[in-house]
A = this chain, B = another copy of it.
Amino acid sequence: MKKKAVVNDTSVCQVRIQAISDTMSVLSGKWKFHIVGTLIEGNKLGFMDLLREVNGIGTKMLSKELQDLEMNQLVSRTVMNTKPITVEYALTEYGKTLSPLIDELAKWGVGYRQSIIDSKSI
A→B interface (CB under 8 Å): 4-8, 13, 15-24, 26, 30, 33-34, 37-38, 41-42, 45-46, 49, 52-53, 55, 73, 94, 97-98, 100-102, 104-113, 115
Whether B20 lies near A37 (C-beta < 8 A) is yes
**Would A5 and B106 be within 8 Å (CB), given that A17-B34, A26-B112, A97-B111 are in contact?**
no
How far does the alpha carbon of A52 sit from the alpha carbon of B4 in the complex, in Å? 11
Whether B33 lies near A16 (C-beta < 8 A) is no
Whether B108 lies near A98 (C-beta < 8 A) is yes
**Would A7 and B42 be within 8 Å (CB), given that A37-B20, A102-B20 are in contact?**
yes
Copies of this chain in the oligomer: 2
Instruction: Find chain B residues with CB under 8 A from A105 CB.
Output: 19-20, 23-24, 101
**Would A101 and B98 be within 8 Å (CB), given that A15-B110, A113-B18 are in contact?**
no
How far does the Cβ of A13 sit from chain B's closest Cβ, in whole Å? 6
Instruction: Find chain B residues with CB under 8 A from A45 CB.
Output: 5, 7
